[in-house]
Amino acid sequence: MKRIITNTTHEKQAIEDRMFWQNQTPEQRLDCLEQLRLESGNFLYEYPARFQRVITVTRK
C-alpha cells in the first residue's frame, strides 16, 4: 500500500465531497445513511438505533 499526503482547503474538500455524493446512486446514499444511523445508535445509546413510533391524537 502506498501512503500519500495531500494538502487541501475546507472549500476544496467540500466540493470534492459534494461531487462524490452526487456520483453515488440513491441506493448507495441510503445504505451509507443506514450504516451511520446504526453506528451512532451503538455509540450513543449502546443499542441498535430504531425509529421511535409516536402517535398524536387531536380533536377538532
Q: How do residues 4-51 score in pLDDT, each as one tens digit?
A: 998 989 999 999 999 999 999 999 999 999 888 888 776 666 655 566
For cell 450504516, name the residue: 35
Say whether pTM exceeds 0.85: no
Taken in order 40, 42, 46, 49, is the CA torsion positive or negative?
A: positive
Q: How far apart are CA 6 and CA 19, in angstroms?
A: 18
| Domain boundaries of the chain, sorted by first residue | 11-60
Other Cβ atoms within 10 Å of 28 Cβ, number: 11
Contact 43, 54 (CB under 8 A): no
Residue 38 phi, psi dihedral angles, 5° rounding: -65, -40
